[in-house]
Amino acid sequence: MNINTKLLHGYPVICPETGASSIPKFQASTFHQTDVFNHKGYNYTRFGNPTITAVEECIKVLENAQFGLAFSSGMAAINAVLFLLSKGDHLILGKNIYGGTFQSINEFLIRFGVEVTWVDESDVNAWEAAIKPNTKMFYLESPSNPLLTITDLKAVTDVAKKHNILTACDNTFMTPLIQETLTLGIDIVIHSGTKFINGHSDVIAGLVATNDETLYNQLKIHQKALGGVLAVEEAWLLLRGVKTMGLRMEKSITNAQKIAEFLQTKEQVKQVYYPGLPTHPGYEIHQKQAKNGGAVLSFELETQEQVEQFFKKCQVPIVAVSLGGVESILSLPWLMSHAAMPEEERLKTGVTPTLVRLSCGIEDVEDLIADLEQALENNG
């Protein structure tokens, strides 16, 4: 089955009881048991719910995985995975990473006695050089948020396998449609379902997929015991949103490519970060492991005044914290997605006050380009 067919027919999309063309919202916290010793598959929604099961089947199918899990947010999914680590374990991860993940590691994992080493994610040797006898996990994100740096997923995973180290990868920016991380050797793939998978800026969700049954069973306990399960209403909305992901992504990605090329021609723009541009330092590797550059790009303006003007003048994209919606979303990572990182860390990793991130939506690209052009005008 090809992907657009799969998105509509590849997982439970029809109610098995009634034939309804959408899985109903089983809006119940608990399930009556006619037999106290046995239930019919569900007993309490934090442990499982048919609407949530459909989402878990969906991510499993999209990732060609054996197991899927749905969480209340991308961060709940990330934390469930990070909780596989125990006191005394060593975690290695790229220094360019989503600000929330950085915060969680800094606030909790380190306090809980996990040793952490940050490496240059684009340097395969740096991952290997950082390995210690207690290294338990490599945590990856490629392309990274917000600078779109690229990690060679296959090469880093090969290093991990050689040393018996677990690999987890945040695939939010690419989605399973563009980058098949499990096929590249990753053990656990994570998504903020809030973004492209739901795609309508109206749901917060997290998803995980794996082929390893032991990991799945452990993560299922984390989902249940930490309590970060996806809500029923959000599960239903996500099931509705995901059906159009193929079409949405296609248009958003075409728009992103055109916008990145346009921004490169503008003198007011110091630098464009987009892995679909041959000038991107990770271009070759990214082409090897993903189908295209995706729908998110970043660019660097010269001064803070320019940034202020630019945000004021932009009319079409919404200015907001998220990405992956049908509408284009403009954000300032310095004040938004990466505000939780100490200033020094942000600057060290290239998240400057003049770095702008654009998540491309499905608008007509001419309107987006015209809007960006007028916002940049007289702004140099």
Ligand X SMILES: Cc1ncc(COP(=O)(O)O)c(C=O)c1O
Specify whether the CB–CB gap between 168 and 209 falls below 8 A: no
Q: How far is the CB of 77 from ligand X (least distance, A)?
A: 8
> Pick from 48, 50, 68, 74: which binds ligand X (CB under 6 A)?
74
Q: How far is the CB of 59 from ligand X (least distance, A)?
A: 14
Q: Does 171 bind ligand X (CB under 6 A)?
A: no
Which residues in the 75-104 window bind ligand X by CB under 6 A? Answer: 75, 98, 100
Residue with nearest beta carbon to ligand X: 74
Residue 367's contacts (CB-CB under 8 Å, 6 or more residues apart) are: 316
Stretch of residues binding ligand X (CB under 6 A), selected from 108-116, 148-156, 165-173, 284-292 = 165-173
**Active site includes 46?**
yes
Q: Does 192 bind ligand X (CB under 6 A)?
A: yes
Q: How many CB atoms lie within 10 A of CB 315?
A: 11
3-state secondary structure of 7: helix
> How far apart, in Å, are the Cα atoms of 326 and each of 55, 194, 295, 340?
20, 12, 11, 26
> Pick from 84, 165, 204, 297: which binds ligand X (CB under 6 A)?
204
> How far apart, in Å, are the Cα atoms of 152 and each of 109, 138, 143, 192, 375?
25, 13, 10, 21, 36
> How far apart, in Å, are the Cα atoms of 246 and each of 176, 180, 199?
10, 15, 11
Q: Does 147 bind ligand X (CB under 6 A)?
A: no
Q: Does 223 bind ligand X (CB under 6 A)?
A: no
d(CA 26, CA 17): 12
**Active site includes 111?**
no
Q: Does 49 bind ligand X (CB under 6 A)?
A: no
Which one from 195, 248, 251, 346 is the annotated catalytic residue? 195
**Active site includes 258?**
no
The residues that touch ligand X, with contacts defined as CB under 6 A, are 73-75, 98, 100, 141, 145, 170, 172-173, 192, 194, 204, 206, 337
Q: Which residues are catalytic?
A: 46, 98, 170, 195
